[in-house]
Every structure is written in C-alpha cells, then in structure tokens.
Amino acid sequence: MKSWTEGIIQQWKTDSIPLNKGALIEMIAETEIALGFRFPGEFTELYLQTDGFAHQESSGCGYVIWPIHRILHEFRESDNKNFIGFADLPGHHQTIGFLKNKKGVFRNSDQQSSFADTFRECLQWMNKNTSLLH
C-alpha cells in the first residue's frame, strides 16, 4: 500500500511537475526555530521526500508548493507574522499556509475559516480541484 505522500508525489510527477530533492531534517528544524512555529508532522513527512516544486512559476495544476527557503523568505518579507505560507496560485494573489494560533490550513485572504483541516487534506484537495483555492 502506498503512503499518502507517495500518492501526492506521483500525481505531481504524472503532471510533469519538476520537484526538488527532499529537505534535510536539520533544515526543517532550523526553519521552525526562525519562524517560531512547528510544522505539522505531515508537512515534515512530505518535505523530507521533496522540498517543494523546482520551478516557482505556475505549474500545470495551477498552484506552486514552495521550498523551505522560500517559506522562510516570504515569512520574513511579510507584515503578518502569524501567517506562514507554503504555496501560492501565481497571478491570483492567493497564498495557502498555516496560522500560528489555529489548527488547519488557511488562505491568506481568509484567515478566519480554514481551507482544510490538515496539510494532507489540503494537498489532496489542491491536486483534485484547484477551483477550491479561488
């Protein structure tokens, strides 16, 4: 039986999305310290296998999963230190991410109600139907 991460990664490969090699656990831990936020276990599980999309322009699926270094860069550039983005829809000004004080996954434009309950659920929805993101 395939793990959920294998299914997600296989979908991206089927969609011809170039992926980065997995992140080092030390890199993830250092980023968590810099953000003042601990990523959910599912996030770490996936990022150990692939550190986001290799190209940061729009993919065939419409969204882009960021590598760890971009997550940290975007956080440092943002005025909102409660929101930690990990994906976006280029051209739509829509960022998907975590809030430090709430469980779930949120859109930057709607930080009151979650887009998905978990990181895994978010990626599964994003792979199935990007219209949910708009």
Q: What pLDDT digit, counting tens, does each position of 59-99 carry?
A: 566 789 999 999 999 999 999 999 999 998 877 678 999 99
Tell me which of 63 and 109 has the higher pLDDT: 63
Name the range with the highest mean pLDDT among 10-24, 36-50, 52-66, 99-113.
36-50
Residue 87: alpha-carbon gap to chain centroid:
4
**Rounded percentage of the chain residues whose pLDDT exceeds 70:** 87
Which amino acid is present at 119? Answer: F
Strands 83-89 and 102-107: unpaired
- Residue 127 in this model has a pLDDT that exceeds 70: yes
- pLDDT, residue 58, reads 57
CA angle 7, 114, 74 (to 5 degrees): 80
Classify burial at 75, counting beta carbons within 10 Å of its beta carbon; exposed 0-12, middle 13-18, buried 19 or more.
buried
Q: Which fold has domain 4-133?
A: SMI1/KNR4-like (3.40.1580)
pLDDT value of residue 132: 47
Q: Report pLDDT for 129.
A: 62
Boundaries of every domain in the chain? 4-133
Contact 94, 108 (CB under 8 A): yes
